[in-house]
Amino acid sequence: MTGSRLGPYEVADRLGEGGMGVVYRAVDTRLGRPVALKLLPPDAAADPERRRRFVQEARAASALNHPNIVTIYEADEHDGTAFIAMELVSGRPLDRVLADEPPPLATALELADQVAAALEAAHAAGLVHRDIKPANVIVTGDGRAKVLDFGLAKLVDRASTDETMSAIGTRAGMVMGTIAYMSPEQAQGLPVDARSDLFSLGAVLYEMLAGRRPFASDSDAGVLSAILRDPPPPLEAITRDVPAAVRALVSKALAKDPGARYQTATALRADLAAARARSTGGDAAWRRPAVFVPVAAVLLAVAAWGVWQTVEARRERWARVDAIAEIERLYHSGRTMHAVRLARDAERYAPDAIAQVRAAWQPFMLVTEPAGATIEARNYHDPEGAWEPLGTSPLQNVRLPLGYYRVRITKAGYKPLEVGAGVGRSPVVLTPETDIEPGMVFVPGGLYGFGVAPPVLLPDYWIDQLEVTNAAFKQFVDNGGYRDPKYWTMPLQMGGRALSFDDAMARFQDTTGQPGPATWELGSYPEGQADYPVGGISWFEAAAYAEFAGKELPTLYHWFRASGANEVQSDILQLSNFSGRGAAPAGEHGGVGPWGTLDMAGNVKEWAANEATGRARRYILGGGWNEPSYRFVEPDAQDPWDRAETFGVRLVRNLGPADQAAVPVGRVAPDPSSVVPVAPAQVEEYRQYYDYDRTPLDARVEATDDASSPVWTKETVSFAAAYGNERVPAYLFVPKQITPPYQTVVLFPTAYARQVPTSTALDLGTFEFLMKSGRAVLYPVYQGTFERRGNVQPGPMGLRDMFVHWAKDVFRAVDYLATRPDVDMDRLAYFSLSMGAYFGPIPVALEPRFKAAVFASGGLRYGYPAWVQPANFAPLVTIPVLLVNGRDDFGVSAAEQQRFHDLLGTPPAHKRRVVLDGGHVPQDIRELFKYTLDWLDTYLGRVR
């Protein structure tokens, strides 16, 4: 293994081996940092379920941030080998320290407190270590304890006592390490919780104090017997140097009954602190009042000052080194609110450094009508998590990591609202408490279109927060819904012929022949399912129920406007019911939309008012529990008489006429095969739009920033544009640790650049990884972005002009780089996430100096004028191209991603499409970073 490569890691030498696998020293070639690489044992790697749990547990543990916990950077697989990359700590394992001699009492208590602090943080995050022992504690040169392997021992949990006991003799599968530190419940194979870790820590502390383990025997079975039945030898019988308070503490930690043990690490730490205070003292002469009081005052003051300075120095170092690294890792792995909280905590000790971190985040803007609402947020995937206060609307100066959040909006006199929101969103209209529609949420209207369906003007409207439940639909049944024709106002037609009311009602029966949904029996829903969404109803029954309820079926436009299916993030799918196992209670999964609806993705499909053009079918939306998750954004049309168990409904109440939206709708999802490039000769004619005179650049370096980052220096430059009398501002980020000439990446930004008025707040988090890899990055301020936003005209001609100006800005940026002796023009790449990935085929086809390109979150565009249709230029692209897309990208379907890939003229061996978990932005953006750097390493060469 030594000297080989595992993904981006170059393996150096072997550090050791334990139950959880072999550990190697390695170097992360992307960031140039040393890491410890732990490989899953081969027997575990061969089991797909254990391998999956390994990665899952390691990723869960990677959420931990604490100075006494070894940081996990990532968990991954490469060529069938599962591994974790973690912080490489310089120090000695505690078991080797103890092999030399027991530490002094003060040191033992200090180390125990630090391990307890690590457990306190882990238990608060819901993680139990399960394998606390001296070998899993590293003692650094400055006396700090760092705990290894949080969460990983769960990988080898035994399911029963018999399995655990049978493993003792052979040790097969017993990869938890030495059993001498197991709690009684763990030794019996029973479920364990945080108290098990505290027992193990008690055993470690006992060994530090006594110089021997609390439970010893000649055999594993004997050790187990001692753990389960015998008290450890009294500490006072082994050493006289342990005070009574410490002995009592150890005894409580080692209680056989978990209920008699410390219940939390916090409680244990409190007793450790008290014991340390009592155990510090000196010669009795110093305690005489005449001597003690004045001397003690001076000594205490001096000691306090020294302790304070030491603590403050440690805190500042923690903030600048450990905390910032952890914030970045949390940010890129989707644990954005964890990053926000950690930044807030670290800001007290290193405010300037944290300000630099926040500069890589994006403005979170939220406007409410009326203003003055309190805004709080938490991670979207954490419905029960703590709310983080953001301020009062309108929010303008708040920065958050790129991500999707649950946002709570409250204002006295108005209905509280919880919605899903990215870093920017439409204004939220608050509803006075006197105007609330029970069980519904408000959605503002306006011009709205979805897919290729033509836009229509929607009125303001209310929509049910939840799907219509069985209990609600039973009111319709019990009130004669199937007997009274007044609710059935729509034509009851089948196959071109009209049915009588009685004939139609005969088709709407439950499994026992009673009127009701197809999923019911004896005129009612299954027992215990009152709060489940009603299923098994036809479009006609849904429309009749709407009449009964005094509401309307939503049109396709109403439904998609409220759903969040046009959001950039696809996080809603991870909190939606696509389980394949059946419906769930309405709202149980917690997938909230941008206006406060729940369960619009999955659970049951929901009938819409619109007829499909030219077909006797009605739209039904959102996908059902038995369908793939992409059906959330893929409109379906079904026979209105069908009564599948997944067919349900939610309703709207319009606050104005909605006739435009109720018309028949043809194709909604565009057809990727309809995008066909024009002939090459025609593209040659379009080139004239992009030609420009290579007039003098008049390049200037306006400013240099060498202080904002230890990784890069930022030069603010500008050069003459290729049109008008304009100048193109740009930022050149030069790596500090690399010798020129630099590999350089020309960046095209996300749509963020068109939303923010100033480039003083760049979206560093989306591209800083390139500088950390040792490459230079040029970030031009393109026409229509940041300070240059006001120069774009509406309409097709405005779109044409903007695209042409974008391309010319790219060309002039490359011209500028060619004037720099510190840039290697033979190693030049194009990179963009989203906006520039859609646009990318144009500049990459027309600029021959690019050697490689990465288009992330891009795809087809429909209805663009031919001279700016990227698909027309895609066949002219011949350089190596990497495409990276999210599996659940609401904006680019899998078919559109593949078509985009196929249209590129790059030889098949040098173009690749990678699909990652997540939506338009991958769920773990570090995956995007990894594939991008590997691609650049391959085609530009590795940075040296």
Calpha distance 570→420 (Å, rounded): 11
Beta bridge partners of 602: 577
239/690 Cα distance (integer angstroms) = 86
Contacts of 114 (CB under 8 A, 6+ apart): 68, 144, 145
Question: What is the residue whose two structure tokens read 């370096």?
Answer: 701
DSSP one-letter code for 861: -
3-class secondary-structure state, position 381: coil
Going by C-alpha positions, the residue among 604, 611, 621, 618 that lies closest to residue 563 is 621
**Tokens in use for 564?**
């969040």
Interior CA angle at 227 toward 222 and 228, to 5°?
A: 95
232's tokens: 């450890």
Half-sphere exposure of 66 (CA within 13 A, CB side): 23
Structure-token pair, residue 434:
């006197």
Q: Based on C-alpha coordinates, what's the Rg of the chain?
A: 32
Per-position DSSP letters for 202-242, written without gaps between them: HHHHHHHHHSS-SS--SSHHHHHHHHHHPPPPPHHHH-S-S
Q: Rounded CA gap, 900 and 672, in Å?
A: 9
Number of helices (H) and strands (E), helices first, in the chain? Answer: 27, 37
Options 28, 76, 113, 131, the catalytic residue: 131
For residue 192, the Cα-to-chain-centroid distance in whole angstroms is 28
- CB atoms under 10 Å from CB of 630, counted, come to 17
- What is the C-alpha to C-alpha distance for residues 533 and 549, in angstroms, rounded to an integer? 16
For 784, residues 6+ apart whose C-beta sits below 8 A from its C-beta are 754, 791, 792, 802, 805, 806
Strands (E) across 347-455 are located at: 362-363, 368-369, 374-379, 388-392, 399-400, 405-410, 417-421, 428-429, 440-443, 446-448
Distance from C-alpha of 2 to C-alpha of 503, rounded to nearest angstrom: 78
Nearest CA-CA partner of 246 in 212, 209, 216:
209
| Amino acid present at 929 | F
Closest by alpha carbon to 121, among 69, 85, 73, 75?
69
Residue 509 buriedness (CB in 10 A; 0-12 / 13-18 / 19+): middle
131 labelled catalytic? yes
Sheet of strand 461-464: strand arrangement: 440-443, 461-464, 652-654
Taking the C-alpha atoms of residue 373 and residue 284, their distance in angstroms, rounded to an integer, is 63
Q: Of the candidates 258, 212, 8, which has an alpha carbon nearest to the alpha carbon of residue 98?
A: 212
Map residue 105 onto helix, strand or coil.
Answer: helix
By annotation, the residues acting in catalysis are 131
